[in-house]
Amino acid sequence: MPETRSTCPYCGVGCGVIIESDGVQITGVRGDPDHPANGGRLCTKGSTLHLTAAPVHAQQSRLLQPLRRFDRASAPQPVSWDAALDDVAGRMAQIHANHGPDALGFYLSGQLLTEDYYVFNKLAKGLLGTNNLDTNSRLCMSSAVAGYKATLGADAPPACYEDIDLAGCMFIVGSNMAWAHPILFRRVEEAKARNPALKIIVADPRKTETAELADLYLPLLPGSDVMLFHSLLHIMLWEGWTDNAFIVQHTSGFAALKELVREATPEKASAICGLPTEDLYKAARWMALGGAHSADSAPRQPTLSLYCQGLNQSASGTANNAALINLHLATGQIGKPGAGPLSLTGQPNAMGGREVGGLSNLLSAHRDMANPLHREEVAQLWGVETIPSTPGKSAIEMFEAAADGQIKALWIACTNPAQSMPDQAMVRRALERAELVVVQEAFAATETTAYADCLLPATTWGEKLGTVTNSERRISRVRAAVTAPGLARHDWQIGVQLARRLEPLVRPRKPSLFGYDMSRAEAAAEAIWNEHRESTRGRDLDITGLSWQMLEEKGPQQWPVPSGAAQGTQRLYTDGRFVTDDGRARFDAQPWKPVAVQRDARHPFSLNTGRLRDQWHGMTRTGQLGRLFAHVSEPQLQVHPQDMQRLQLRDGDLVHVSNRYGAIVLPVQTGSGLQPAQLYLPMHWGGMYLSGRSSKGQRLAGVNALTTPEFCPRSKQPELKHVAVRLLKAEMP
Ligand code: SF4
């Protein structure tokens, strides 16, 4: 049986997998014992990859050939690749000529490989001259990006997975990693079992399986994170637990933050966060001293923070991230073994997308669109005259612009915005109003494919080749074990073939910017990656010392890997120098603000959304396998027992949940771990359970019929973790 080393396509832990195949079908999968992220382990999703891949090859759910719709009322018809690409390239060039480049928008995915991201970024920002390229990572990690940049000067998580084994205290905030990052959580459990003195603090409005492991559980109220972190710093200052030498030598801006947190007294924070003051004191001491009992009795132990969407998916997302990093800077808990902030990426390649600049405000190798020098550098690298200075539209802004008629063409790759974006009614208006919707997908039937004028079949896990980067900056190879079914092509191939058709139309008589030799897929993908590698020279994520051959010989490596380095870099900022002009980290002083859509008398419940252990995103893959429904079989709204009693609800009763964005009807379940007036609903299910319909007659999809498009003004990440809703028992006919 041939075996192929690759990477799990689900979460940002980035586990190595060994794929078994008979050359045609994927027949088995097991954890790669040599991969540093998982050491041979896989969770329920990863260990069943071959079972969800098998029906894919049975061709039941796959998009197998290009389809084109000649008008919106007719069914899509099979066409050749040439006919499909010629048609969409012609229509895009027409829109470009008639309305300008910013009438085009590209919406990508953290599921794409780094090479896919690189090609589309170059196509949009280099060839077409629009910065309207964003990704579903905007819904996932953009607050972490903005938080790192605001404080440390670069979007670079400083810590690594090994720090879990070395920490004296772990602060897990806004992350149910027991379900969302299971293999990493096993490492946390083992660290605790090995070292009972390890202190684990978990802050989350819900008492999750992760919180069950905590020595101190902080059930903070939704949206109170910044106040919690500011109050911890207030206490640290009062008690003398900050690291003043580190603050003086390696940071700037502390005076303003000190002044700001003066107001964040434990009493005030206790009222806003809903937490006892004694727990705030305990958390501040453990976090500052790494679990040590006092500043005098033992040396400061390292503290590691692990955090995810609870901080990111917030209208205060950047402030949440920055306020947590402030704590690490104020206590010197960064740049040493076992210490530092470590954001957990939700998707398998959210990090790789950021590396190539796959957000509307970024350019290659962590460059900023707003920086004229960075634009000039990238223009030179790509061989184009200029990179446009007009800011690109972020995910929400892009769909709002399409709904308003400003964006005429939407190109969507490997994601399902008609299910996964907030404010579904607005998203569907955008998809209906756009003159041209192209969807590049592996799967035939998603909520979004129903809106496509042109559907282009793409390869998926087990067929794709390229690279991804996990949460600890580790670049791993993704390898193909079998050939793609039907006429599916790699996402980067589709991008290159589109670009080559557009070049004579929008940039005539100039040499091609996409001159990769496409005769061998592996070599072409490597050439694209090499171009990305060159763009990183001298940047914080410099990988000019890395090659695919080195990945082959030495295995996955953590960036940076500068020229001449024998291996990757485990930890950042170990010398106390940060990626700012003066080398000092910056304290970011932002006041606490309440949630964007607050509860009121008409909408008295807080709705929280998130992942289940055994499902992935919109379930196009995990939804194919019965055994993955054994954990949770259907979408159920979790409600606190007191509210169940007050509303005379029993498990399984149908309820009507509504707010200004939409309404859904679904069964309830008595929720464990919730506080009164809080609701929880998994994000995975689409349009099956909903009462709303679009003007096209299609159902609005899942929990995002209710979520708000309000976003953080700095990261533009929407507040998917909180919205106010009304809850009524549904009347039976
Ligand atoms: Fe895949 Fe994440 Fe599970 Fe690892 S922890 S096997 S990367 S889903």
pLDDT tens per residue, range 332-358: 999 999 999 999 998 899 899 999 999
Q: Is there an atom of ligand 1 within 6 Å of 29 CB? A: no
- Chosen domain end from 292, 322, 344: 344
Q: Check whether 697 has a pLDDT greater than 50.
A: no
CB-CB contact of 512 with 522 (8 Å): no
Please tell me the distance from the alpha carbon of residue 225 to that of residue 430, in angstroms, as a whole number.
Answer: 33
- What is the average per-residue pLDDT within 379-386? 97
Q: Check whether 96 has a pLDDT greater than 70.
A: yes
Residue 4 belongs to some domain of the structure: no
Residue 708 has which token pair? 């708000």
363 is in which domain, residue-wise? Answer: 82-140+349-558
CB-CB contact of 216 with 199 (8 Å): yes
Q: Check whether 689 has a pLDDT greater than 70.
A: no
Q: Is there an atom of ligand 1 within 6 Å of 443 CB? A: no
Q: Where are the alpha helices (DSSP H) in 200-347?
A: 225-239, 244-250, 254-261, 266-273, 277-289, 309-312, 317-330
CB-CB contact of 291 with 197 (8 Å): yes
Kindly report, residue by residue over 235-288, the tens digit of the pLDDT: 999 999 999 999 999 999 999 999 999 999 999 999 999 999 999 999 999 999
Name the pLDDT band for 318 (thresholds 50, 70, 90): very high
Could you tell me if 520 and 668 lie in one domain? no
- Answering whether pTM is above 0.90, one says yes
Could you tell me if 408 and 483 lie in one domain? yes
Kindly report, residue by residue over 31-43, the tens digit of the pLDDT: 999 999 999 999 9
Total structural domains in the chain? 3
Q: Check whether 57 has a pLDDT greater than 70.
A: no
- For residue 14, the ligand 1 atom closest to its alpha carbon is 7
Q: Where are the alpha helices (DSSP H) in 333-423?
A: 350-355, 372-382, 395-403, 417-420
pLDDT computed for residue 618 by the predictor? 84
- Chosen domain end from 344, 378, 410: 344
Percent of all residues in the chain with a pLDDT value above 90, rounded to a whole number: 86
The CATH number assigned to the domain holding 609 equals: 2.40.40.20
CB-CB contact of 148 with 325 (8 Å): yes
pLDDT computed for residue 695 by the predictor? 38
Could you tell me if 375 and 480 lie in one domain? yes
Could you tell me if 481 and 405 lie in one domain? yes
pLDDT computed for residue 59 by the predictor? 62
Please tell me the distance from the alpha carbon of residue 689 to that of residue 699, in angstroms, as a whole number.
Answer: 9
Residue 287 belongs to some domain of the structure: yes
Residue 551 has which token pair? 């990945």
Q: Which of 446, 214, 224, 220 is nearest to 314 (CA)?
A: 224
Q: Which residues contact 281 (CB under 8 A, 6 or more apart)?
A: 235, 266
Q: Check whether 397 has a pLDDT greater than 80.
A: yes
- For residue 37, the ligand 1 atom closest to its alpha carbon is 4
- For residue 348, the ligand 1 atom closest to its alpha carbon is 7
Residue whose token pair is 């600049």: 357
- Chosen domain end from 318, 344, 370: 344
Helix axes 142-152, 317-330, angle to 10 degrees: 40
Q: Is there an atom of ligand 1 within 6 Å of 182 CB? A: yes
Q: Is there an atom of ligand 1 within 6 Å of 46 CB? A: yes
- For residue 183, the ligand 1 atom closest to its alpha carbon is 5
State in Å: Cα 44 to ligand 1 middle: 8
Could you tell me if 178 and 317 lie in one domain? yes
For CA atoms 506, 512, 515, 518, the dihedral sign is positive
Helix axes 225-239, 317-330, angle to 10 degrees: 20
Please tell me the distance from the alpha carbon of residue 84 to that of residue 89, in angstroms, as a whole number.
Answer: 9
DSSP string, 88-103: HHHHHHHHHHHH-GGG
- For residue 10, the ligand 1 atom closest to its alpha carbon is 8
CA-nearest residue, atom 4 of ligand 1: 15
Strand partners, 138: none
Residue 521 belongs to some domain of the structure: yes
- Most informative mutation of 30, 42, 188, 461 for ligand 1 (most atoms within 8 A of CB): 42
Could you tell me if 492 and 372 lie in one domain? yes
Residue 573 has which token pair? 């900022």
Residue whose token pair is 């708000």: 708
Could you tell me if 619 and 533 lie in one domain? no
Encode burial over 65-94: b for 16+ CB neighbours within 10 A, e otherwise: bbbbbeeeeeebeebebeebbebbbebbbe
State in Å: Cα 563 to ligand 1 middle: 31
Residue 567 belongs to some domain of the structure: no
CB-CB contact of 472 with 455 (8 Å): no
pLDDT computed for residue 291 by the predictor? 80
Could you tell me if 401 and 530 lie in one domain? yes
Q: What is the ipTM of this complex?
A: 1.00
Name the pLDDT band for 716 (thresholds 50, 70, 90): very high
Residue 517: C-alpha distances to residues 46, 81, 181, 514, 527 (Å)? 34, 19, 38, 9, 8
Please tell me the distance from the alpha carbon of residue 319 to that of residue 714, in angstroms, as a whole number.
Answer: 9
Could you tell me if 643 and 545 lie in one domain? no
Average pLDDT, the chain: 94
Could you tell me if 462 and 314 lie in one domain? no
The CATH number assigned to the domain holding 329 equals: 3.40.228.10
State in Å: Cα 45 to ligand 1 middle: 7
State in Å: Cα 41 to ligand 1 middle: 9
Q: E strands of 529-683, at which residues?
A: 557-558, 585-586, 605-610, 637-639, 654-659, 662-670, 678-682
What number of other Cβ atoms are within 10 A of residue 554's Cβ?
13
Q: Is there an atom of ligand 1 within 6 Å of 11 CB? A: yes
CA atoms within 13 Å, Cβ hemisphere of 103? 17
Kindly report, residue by residue over 516-556, the tens digit of the pLDDT: 999 999 999 999 999 999 999 999 999 999 999 999 999 99
Name the pLDDT band for 211 (thresholds 50, 70, 90): very high
